Amino acid sequence: MAGSGEAHLRGGEALLTVRDLVVEYPGEKGTVQAVSGVSFDVLPGETLGIVGESGCGKSTTGRAVLRLNRLVRGTIEFKGEHIENANPARVRALRREMQMVFQDPVASLNPRRAVKDIVEEGLVIGGMAAAERAARAATVLAQVGLDEERFADVLPRQLSGGQAQRVAIARALALNPTLLICDEPVSALDVSVQAKTLNLIEELKAAYELTVVFIAHDLGVVRAVSDDVLVMYLGKICEFGDSDLVYDRPAHPYTRALLDSVPLIGSAHGFTGPALEGDIPSPLAPPSGCRFWTRCPVRRERCAVVEPQMREVREDQYVACHFPLVDGGSPEPAVSG
C-alpha cells in the first residue's frame, strides 16, 4: 500500500491501485464531497485497514472500488486492468473476483431466500450446474462454521446477527474472489460474536489467499487485522503506513487525537493530550487548506491556507500534515507542499 506518487510502501506489484479518487453525492443542499482525491495501493495478500470517524468517506471509497458508486474522477486498476470506465457487463464479471461484506448482515441478505439459495446466487449467475453449486454451497457453509443440513433452508430473519454475517461471508467466498472488501463487518454484532467473526475472516483470508480491505471506525478492530492502515478525515487521507507504526507513533495530529479518544489495549504512542475538539465540518463545504485545521490542536496559519501533500515521515509511514508529530509527541516544523 502506498499513497503518494507511484511509490509502493512494501514494493512489488499492487493488486489494487487507486489514484486521485473523487466521489460526490449531489443533493438538495449542495454537493457532498464524500471522497476528495484518495490514492492508495493494496498489495496481494495484504490487509489494508481504513479508519476514521463516521462520514469520512470510508464506505464510499470501498464501494467505488467495486464500482457501486459513480466516480467524478480518478482511476482504479485491478490486476493491471483499468476498471474505472468498465462497462456493466465487465463490472458484473469483476464481481466474481471482488466481493464485499457489509455492516448489517441481515439487511444484506435477501429476506425471501433460503441460506443455500443466497450462497448459490453468484454461482447461478456464473452458470454453474445445480449439483456442483449445491456441493460448493455446502463446502463454504462448512468453512464459515454453519452446518449445511441445519441451515440450508433457513431464512435470514431466523438467523442471529453472527450467523447472518457468516452467510454473507459464505456468499462472498463461494465465488472464490481475490479481493474482499469488508465494510464494518463486525460493528453490528454483539461484542461476544465480534472476535469470532474476525477470527473467521482471518482464517478464510489465509485459506483463500485473499487480499482484504477492512473498513471500520473501531481502531482496535482495524489494528488487530491490518498490515497497513489508512486514516481518513473528511474525504481525504491524512496518514497511512505500516499499522504498528501508525498506531504506536502517529504522525498526524488527527491520528493521535483518534487514538487518544479511545483506550487501546497495547497502544504505545504514549501521548495524553487533548482529544478532538468540535464537530466534523460539513462535507458540503470542507475547510480550506488542511481539512483538519479547524479541529487541530497544533494548527498554525499555514494550515488554513495551503493543503498539505502526502510525504514520507519515516520508512513505511506517510502523512499529509505541515507540522507532523515526532514520535506521536510535539509537532515538527516542516516545509511541505
Within positions 277 to 316, which residues make up the interface with ligand ADP, using CB under 6 A?
283
CA separation for the pair 140, 171 (Å, rounded): 8
CB 320, min distance to ligand ADP, A:
17
Cell numbers given for 126: 456464473
Q: What residues contact residue 62 under an 8 Å CB cut-off, 6+ apart? A: 50, 100, 181, 183, 213, 215
Residue 289 CA to residue 281 CA, distance in Å, equals 13
Please tell me the distance from the alpha carbon of residue 326 to that of residue 178, in angstroms, as a whole number: 37
The 60-99 site mask, x for binding ligand ADP (CB under 6 A), equals x---------------------------------------
CB of 258 to ligand ADP, least distance (A): 13
The answer to the question of residue 34 lying near ligand ADP (CB under 6 A) is yes
CA 112 distance to own-chain centroid: 29
# chain residues binding ligand ADP, by CB under 6 A: 13
Which of these ranges, 54-62, 152-160, 170-178, 306-314, lies near ligand ADP under the rule CB under 6 A?
Answer: 54-62
Stretch near ligand ADP under the rule CB under 6 A, chosen from 40-48, 57-65, 120-128, 161-169: 57-65
Q: With binding defined as CB under 6 A, does residue 57 bind ligand ADP?
A: yes
> By CB under 6 A, is residue 186 in contact with ligand ADP?
no
Query: Which of 64, 35, 70 is closest to 52 using CA atoms?
Result: 35
Distance CA 20, CA 7 (A): 14
Q: Is 215 left (phi over 0), alpha (psi -120 to 50) or beta?
A: beta
- Of the residues 17, 19, 46, 58, which one makes contact with ligand ADP according to CB under 6 A: 58
Report, in Å, the least distance between residue 215 CB and ligand ADP.
7
Interface contacts to ligand ADP, rule CB under 6 A:
25, 27, 32, 34, 52, 54-60, 283
